[in-house]
Chains A and B, each alone.
Chain A
């Protein structure tokens, strides 16, 4: 079998299986906790407690939620397009899981790379795989046969074209400074100075585009629970709806992971080598908290406002950032 991409360190197959299982176990352990954390924090931001009834401090709330979702009927509207409707929630899950693979948790230690996979095309893989999630959104919204879903999907498409370019450009500065596309190499290049300092503009643009990528407030127009009743998810019920929600959190983790690796020095931190994944996780959780904080603060933008922001502000800024970085990298 041909390898999908050149890997820099060759490992035994069982090592890779164990690694992927470990990543799954950790991330899928964090995901439900993140939903509780988000609901509790949003509550605190609004002077209330949030869920605190199920289990100690409401920590078992996701269990109750999933139990409820599983007991629901997998409903399908009469004029939905069957296959695509089922494919809708599956594609984003696939994309999220695939994107998890490149988040670096640490460098090679004892012959084992503490990452899912380190590909030389690194960050391109993230963009390629991350964009698949939007197909799920578009297909799900279109095939539902409902106007709210279609509107949500349309907004999703409009959103996609406005932030993707700026997102790619925002990382270009980091790639130039790191001199590599591989996330591991980029983290290694941040040994002395985290890239958030020289690339602060890039970080801001990336985070804004990240909010749009994950469909989070203030850019949650595809969902827009107020006016589109969850947009592309309107017609979904049960665990299909649940997987859309799950993917949203998975994407937050992925975007936080990439941002932490690209700008916050990834696993860099004081302490012995085995602390590396914990440092990485801490930085990711910090960014997740930022996501929640922003959600508690900002109202939803109209989608022409997002397009204006993407094309008129973020794109020129990102281009300028790339230009200045390029000149500085070449001259020094």
Chain B
């Protein structure tokens, strides 16, 4: 196990370095340079030169990258030149919102996906299975922003059941806080369940053909006991991976969903930084999201190895 962890870490370091490199160099795609962007209308050659010198923009690019990387490793991601807020503060302030949304969405997705997958796997090829897999396939063609609009139209505009926007902190109004998260979480869960359902369904179909399931049936165990106790756990390996990857992806907050429902999470921070052309915040958030994505995937790999001995021994 230690050897496996070691190999994964050896792989993790260059990927993280590459992520910082890519994040840094995307910023150099900016036409002109950051000094012009920061000064805006007041850009005179003298001021630009002074600011460039102050920010170290006149140094060679490799030198600048190393300098920036050194700062990043010390947790210093810079400071917004619009609001003066540090990037680290901006991220830690928004992270709880994204995490709450992610947890609610993932739990809802699993609650919808798992029962459907089990029913489909048991009656494989039956009417329910065909309808559910058909819906899951159709769902691939409905992006989150369409679902969000439908949700807002149905539950906020027509039925007046839930707010379309309006975030309140949990400490101020717990119920209002949860209500504000229901529609965005449902929107995300609507995109998650077909994926979760598909992987569990196909793994479960394979598990149900194993000898020990036939054995359990022969012993006269109740069907629900066979399904939930004997079949579900060995079938859930891929489900764990996919759930983990989704969590990694949602660290970036659900960009679109957070923007539509005006939830002040990481995704919304990124989008507003783009609207405001706040490039320091943008760079910091992109780095945070990408590094988080890589690290969560790394943890999922480890978890997977814990669950399945074949993987840590390289025999999968």
A-B complex is real: no
